[in-house]
Structure 1
Amino acid sequence: MARDGARPAYDPAGHDGDLRAALQEVRTGRWLSMRVLLERTTAWWQWTRRTQVLAAAAAGTDVVRAWLAEEPHSVPATVMQARVAVERALRAHRERHLRTHELWIEAWDLSQSAARTAPPDPVPWVCLLALAQLDRKLLWEEHRAAPPEPSLPPGPWGLLDEAGRRDPHNREAHHRMLQFLYTQAGSGRLAGAAGFAHLVAGTAPPGSALHVLPLYVRAERYRRGGGRGAALDLHWVAEDATREALRAREGWFDRAGPAERSPLDLNHLAHALWGALRFADAAEVFDAIGPYCTPLPWAYHVPAPGDHAEAVQVFLQARTRSRPAARGPGS
């Protein structure tokens, strides 16, 4: 797949063609394709991913509101309403908008409502987990629950448990927990986040995307350390970094079906294997990525992380360096 030198592009749908078609409709203010897609989505992992991607596209529109106006009792529309509200609150927080607190409370209310409307659905609990990172001072009791292990800090562990009861090993729920732990770590060490990631990866079943979780913590540590610089080789070639990359490949990539591999996980794995100088292993992941690269983690290697064009250049350099190793000597 994509073994030529084609220049990749970012597409949040990745290899999910049905999601891509629905996204195009959402961006033009139409909701029917989104409804049809979600009605046909039965697996929780796919439901979680699709609602997340659709919400990111719908957050700048009134498309979900229009859907609810036509079908006020629609359960998928109610869940999407919560998704969009959470996306707007998180964006406002990143932009330090004056309405952040107002949007946060609105999103919390809608997520609670969605949890009551769709009791078996993990997504409303994922939404509540996502909002927990806004509570930097841990003012809410549900955000300072006792951890499952003494080595971990207090946090929204009850919310994670609720998501896990509905969909064990839910990928996004654990990433949202990781983001919460990042905010609590501040500018200091990421011991809590690293401990959580390794604990989760160590108990994840074969084929679970949670085997990739430690690679995200390593990338975050690299970003906080200043990213691009002379420490690159030491950071990524260290024995524990190589071990994490190979475990992610063996536990997830080698056992998960192509449809279950998210573009972001694929890019983090290719990046880690390339950084560990495991070029032949990386080349197989690059082939699975195909034309759908993601800005992160490649952007951590450029002076301006928001420069996606430069991030693509790093991706291309890594792919070009890796592929000859897969073809063997003399290729």
Structure 2
Amino acid sequence: MAPDRRLMARDGARPSYDPAGPDRALRAALQDLRTGRWMAMRTLLADTADRWQWTQRTQVLAAAAAGSDVVRAWLAEEPDSAHALVMHARVAVERALRAQRERHLRTHELWIEAWDAAQAATRAAPHDAVPWVCLVALAQLDPEQRWEEHRAVAPEPLLPPGPWGLLAEAHKRDPFNREAHHRMLQFLYARRGTGRLAEAAGYAQWAAGQAPAGSALHVLPLYVRVERYRRESGHDAALDLHWVAEEAAREARRALHSWFEHTHRGERSLLDLNHVAHALWGSLQFPDAARVFDAIGPYVTPTPWMYRAPGRDRAVEVFLQARDRCRAARS
């Protein structure tokens, strides 16, 4: 049986959404966390050596822990634990961002609590980029850029002022940190004034241009393109035209050749894989898209597929149609 046929058989008929993706250790820690226990999380983080995996795991764990007091319980038991303090900051930031999305009355209060927690984490874990990523994430709660640290001069004249100093601190500790740059994009989307998508597109191109081969920053322009469609499109035909443009096809090829082909399965973000597969399929580069679908395996992320057809179930249907079309073209 050919390699792609084996992968197709293992994928199953219908992919599933799992925030842990193929990370089995993370999945086990999440299951433990959801029952109110924190020891598996503690052990997992103690065993996490790679910086990219540390950032990803703390982010996923925080999203799961934000609705409970499990991290607070850990911190109460081990108040001097740097890992517990970083997770406390992660959870506080997640809560503040959710409050902002839901227009909660306590948003400002939660923002200040999260800022204090992130500052404490920078002192407890001085070599960790995650507390600085947390501070970059909080910048989107200041769209008018009233805080001085959110209106620093950009390193490139054509880029707008923003939390560049915070981003630089994250970069010192983990160069080209994927999440730090995605948080910067979110800040640019939220920033007051005109031309926000144009600024975000310019930023994504600049960041990708600075990044070495294998960096996930080469996928950033695809996220901006999806965001533009989400805001401006009205029907499926518009999306098809949006992706077959030469610039879109070029961005998809760049992500494939500069990122996908220089990385292995374990270090790729599932969300990045879905965005690259979507872009290659949308720009009619079916055989290349099939390679990325094989790497995705039995998992799917709601975005960007849900912008073709709102709702998680319909998004999966679009994913399956795209995967089948690309694999058929390869065969």
TM-score, length-scaled by structure 2: 0.95
| 1:315 equivalenced with 2:290 (yes/no) | no
Q: Which has the higher helix share?
A: 2
Shift of 1:291: 1.3
1:39 alignment partner in structure 2: 46
- Aligned equivalents of 2:129, 2:38: Cα separation in 1: 22
1:74-153 paired onto structure 2 within 5 Å: 74-153=81-160
CA contact (8 A) 1:208 1:251 kept: yes
Gap runs ≥5 in structure 2: 1-5
Residue 203 and residue 316 in structure 1: after superposition, are their counterparts in 2 closer, same or farther (change >3 A)? same
Residues 280, 322 of structure 1: 8 Å contact kept = yes
Show the counterpart of 1:52. 59
The 5 Å alignment of 1:139-288 reads 139-184=146-191, 188=195, 190-226=197-233, 228-288=235-295
1:3 equivalent in alignment to 2:5: no
Q: Deviations over 1:175-195 (max 9, x none)?
A: 000111111266755111111
Residue equivalent to 2:3: none
Contact 1:187 1:224 in 2 (8 A): no
Instruction: Give the Å deviation of 1:323.
Output: 0.6
SS in 2 for 1:231: helix
Compared CA separation, residues 189 and 157, structure 1 to 2 (3 A): closer
Q: Would the aligned equivalents of 2:216 and 2:259 in 1 still touch at CA under 8 Å?
A: yes
The number of equivalent residue pairs is 324
Gaps of 5+ in 1: none
Look up the SS of the partner of 2:237 in the other structure: coil
Q: Give the equivalent residue in structure 1 for 2:300.
A: 293
Matching residue within 5, 16, 26 for 2:23: 16
Could you give the per-residue CA deviations for residues 154-192 of structure 1, whole angstroms, max 9, x where no partner exists? 100000000000000000000000111111266755111
Question: Do 1:206 and 1:251's aligned partners in 2 also have CA atoms closer than 8 Å?
Answer: yes
SS at match of 2:303: coil
User: Which amino acid in 2 is paired with 1:54?
Assistant: L
- Shift of the alpha carbon at 1:277? 0.4
Q: Partner of 1:112: helix, strand, or coil?
A: helix
Q: CA RMSD in A?
A: 1.2
Does the 8 Å contact 2:256/2:276 carry over to 1?
Answer: yes
Whole-Å separation in 2 of the counterparts to 1:29 and 1:60: 11
Provide the rounded CA distance (Å) in 1 between the counterparts of 2:168 and 2:39: 33
CA–CA distance in 2 between the matches of 1:238 and 1:147? 30
Give the TM-score normalised by structure 1: 0.95
In structure 1, distance between residues paired with 2:140 and 2:213:
29
Using the TM superposition, give the Cα deviation of residue 206 of structure 1 relative to its aligned residue in structure 2, in angstroms.
Answer: 1.1
What's the % identity of the aligned pairs?
Answer: 71
- Paired with 1:36 and 1:227, the residues of 2 have a C-alpha distance of 47
After TM superposition, give the deviation of residue 70 of structure 1 in Å: 1.3
